[in-house]
Amino acid sequence: MSEPLSYLGVPLARPKVGFFELSSCEGCQLQLLNNEATLLDFLNLVEIVNFREGMSERADTYDIAFVEGSVTRKDEIARLTEIRKNAKILVALGSCACFGGVNQLKNRFRDLDWVKKEVYGDFPIETMEVHPLKDFVQVDLEIFGCPIKKEEVERIVTDLVVGKAVHHPEYPVCMECKANENICLFELGEPCLGPVTRAGCDSWCTSNRRGCWGCRGPAEGANLKQLEEIMHTYGFSSETILDRLECFGGFASFADAVRSPSPNKKTTARRKKS
């Protein structure tokens, strides 16, 4: 279980690793436990010193901090700042940490009081506009996805441990989907952001005939205008496109461009479709 590891003949230090969560479903952390076949090898690679969901021991210093979730309450800013201070490398784990994730869907209502009242009535509850980690601290590495793909995380962590540079694919999910020889979902009547979303998931959803909702954010040079035209040609409405663009926050600026006035009538009107 804890034999010394080496890479190209050079012994490897096992970095101390901590896992932390802000507002999230904690699914990205669970994804790591969800890799039963390689879990014990993975645990051999690093020394986990902080993983509240899985262990009682806690430590205040760590080489790598993986932070899941987005910032949705003031006290989370302080927690995040503290984690940043204690970590050499801070990794944003999953779409909530990278872009705000599904949590940021509430940001489309400009009136936070309405949001609170809709769920809690008059009971006082504290919240704020949802932010990704990078709005408050320096993020050294982003791991995209809702959920994260465990194989990808293991590759990235291995690269980090052996000191290799970490690269994300620049091409879109569409390329992986084609390589997996799937029928194009547009032909099956299913809307899809595959042509504009960053690859790396091995076309996880589209290989299961579920259109891409863009959880990994935009690929380099994503041509949204073209995608919109194509989707309109296939008969998908702007609302259908917007539902996907705004779901995880990675396409926030693109979503603004297609957004019609917000569904909450009390809020101020959003920018009209350009």
CB of 221 to other proteins, least distance (A): 27
In this complex, which beta carbon is closest to other proteins, that of residue 8 or of residue 40? 40
CA distance 63 to 89: 6
Site residues, other proteins (CB under 8 A): 1, 21-31, 33-34, 36-37, 39-40, 43, 48, 51-58, 72-73, 76, 101-103, 105-106, 109, 114-116, 118-121, 123, 125, 127, 146-147, 190, 204-205, 208-210, 213, 239-240, 243, 247, 262-264
In this complex, which beta carbon is closest to other proteins, that of residue 6 or of residue 38? 38
CA distance 109 to 114: 8
Residue at token pair 């302080």: 78
CB of 189 to other proteins, least distance (A): 11
In this complex, which beta carbon is closest to other proteins, that of residue 29 or of residue 197? 29
CB of 264 to other proteins, least distance (A): 7
In this complex, which beta carbon is closest to other proteins, that of residue 66 or of residue 204? 204
CB of 206 to other proteins, least distance (A): 9
Task: Return the H-helix or E-strand segment holding 74.
Answer: helix 74-86
CB of 209 to other proteins, least distance (A): 4
CB-count burial class (<10 Å; 0-12, 13-18, 19+) for 270: middle
Taking Cα atoms as reference points, which of 238, 248, 253 lies closest to residue 213?
248
In this complex, which beta carbon is closest to other proteins, that of residue 109 or of residue 234? 109
In this complex, which beta carbon is closest to other proteins, that of residue 136 or of residue 140? 136
Q: Which two tokens stand for residue 195?
A: 């042509």
CA distance 32 to 172: 25
Taking Cα atoms as reference points, which of 39, 41, 40 lies closest to residue 31?
39
CB of 233 to other proteins, least distance (A): 20
Sorted by sequence, the CB contacts under 8 Å of residue 65 that are 6+ apart come out as: 17, 18, 19, 20, 83, 84, 86, 87, 89, 90, 91
In this complex, which beta carbon is closest to other proteins, that of residue 223 or of residue 264? 264
- Bin 101: left if φ > 0, else alpha if -120 < ψ < 50, else beta: left
CB of 8 to other proteins, least distance (A): 27
In this complex, which beta carbon is closest to other proteins, that of residue 37 or of residue 165? 37
CB of 188 to other proteins, least distance (A): 9
Residue at token pair 């809020």: 267
Q: What distances in angstroms separate CA 111 from CA 80, 105, 163, 252, 254, one per listed residue?
A: 26, 13, 46, 18, 22
Structural contact between residues 132 and 99, judged by C-beta atoms closer than 8 angstroms = yes
CA distance 122 to 116: 8
